[in-house]
Amino acid sequence: MNASFLENQSWLKVKEYLEKNNMILIPIGSIENEGNHLPLGLDIHLSHYLCEAVSKKTGCMVGPSLPLGYSKWFMDFPGTISLEHDTLTILIKEYCDCLYKHGFRNFIFLNPHMGNASAIADVGRDFRKKNALVVLVDIWRTFENISQKIALTKKSELSHGGEIGTSIALAMYPQYVDMGKARKAKIAFPVSKNIQPINTLGFANFKGNYIHTFVDANEITLSGLIGDPTKASIEKGEVLLKEMIIYLEQVLNELKHPNR
């Protein structure tokens, strides 16, 4: 049991914490297809892992995990659980409303799932009007940026269930990764071979420009995977996690005073 998580505290300890700190880390993720070799809960496991690691370094309290996100485009893959956007927005709002009432004013969401971003943004805009600050750290895009600064991972690609994600999963919990089922993805756009899918969310490239299509994931990839997980390694994952934790510690230190 990790003492830094709110659900493991007594109410008196939460009250004592709030007398000196109004910041809280919130792990949010998804339950969705991550390819044939990775567990459905990769996103929430990663967010939980990072919150725990950063909390140990900073003393920041961690809120209960929000494991379900908006993943409707993956619903053809068994095991995926997707909330509607409005449901997710209400859930996040009421969650934060409770914390706000108790005195929290600085809400830091560690979010590895792009489908959650608009719901968090809706809540963040409303809470700013109440003199609170909501921050979303885009975990996978941050990993992509970090990877380009490290010699070992400079040529690594970020893709759904691909090299970077698989490397991180191997470093966190190799027992849940089945590399025997890892294969380079075969992807194709259902309407035109001249349109190149970029991710499972529907981003695509046509003649060097981005377009956003609203196709389901199984229309472009039969495995739910994009990229090449066979290039992954524990070593790559360990160095990426280490640098991410350093960065997140810097974020928290910078945001200690949301009203300045």
Q: What is the pLDDT of residues 49-97, one digit of tens each?
A: 999 999 999 999 999 999 999 999 999 999 999 999 999 999 999 999 9
Where does the pLDDT of residue 257 fall: very low under 50, low under 70, confident under 90, or very high at 90 and above?
low
Q: Please give the distance of CA 65 from its chain centroid, rounded to a whole number.
A: 12
Tell me, what's the pLDDT at 191?
Answer: 86
Q: How is residue 179 annotated by DSSP? A: G
Same-domain pairing of 110 and 172: yes
Same domain as 33, residue 110: yes
Residue at 225 is within a domain: no
130 found inside a domain: yes
Domain containing residue 215: 187-220
In percent, the amount of the chain with pLDDT more than 90 equals 83
pLDDT of residue 201: 83
pLDDT tops 70 at residue 258: no
**What's this model's pTM, rounded to 2 decimal places?**
0.94
Report the pLDDT value the prediction gives residue 197, as an integer from 0 to 100: 85
How many Å apart are CA 134 and CA 202, to the nearest integer? Answer: 27
pLDDT for res 260: 44
Mean pLDDT of 173-191: 92
In terms of average pLDDT, the best of 109-118, 155-164, 210-219 is: 109-118
Question: What sign does the dihedral 106-52-27-245 (CA atoms) show?
Answer: positive
Per-residue pLDDT tens digits for 9-48: 999 999 999 999 999 999 999 999 999 999 999 999 999 9
**pLDDT over 70 at 1, yes or no:** no
Is residue 99 domain-shared with residue 201, that is, in the same domain? no
CA distance 94 to 89: 9
Phi first, then psi, for residue 220 (nearest 5°) are -115, -20
Residues 95 and 107 in one domain: yes
Token look-up 């739910």 returns 224
Question: For residue 64, what is the DSSP state?
Answer: P
Residues 241-245: what's their mean pLDDT?
98
Question: Taking Cα atoms as reference points, which of 148, 69, 138 lies closest to residue 108?
Answer: 138
Does residue 259 fall inside a structural domain?
Answer: no
Residue with the two structure tokens 């970090």: 146
Whether residue 214 sits in one domain with residue 158: no
| Residue-averaged pLDDT of the chain | 94
HSE at residue 107, side-chain half, CA atoms within 13 A, is 33
Same domain? 168 vs 102:
yes
The answer, yes or no, to whether residue 182 has pLDDT greater than 60, is: yes
Q: Provide the strand spans (E) within the chain.
A: 23-27, 61-62, 106-111, 133-138, 196-197, 203-206, 209-212
Query: In the chain, how many domains are there?
Result: 2
DSSP result, 67-90: --B--GGGTTSTT-BB--HHHHHH
The pLDDT, as a whole number, for residue 189 is 86
Question: For 37-41, 182-186, 243-247, which range has the lowest pLDDT when averaged over its residues?
Answer: 182-186
Same domain, 89 and 197: no
157 pLDDT band, cuts 50/70/90, is confident
Q: Mean pLDDT across the stretch 6-10? A: 96
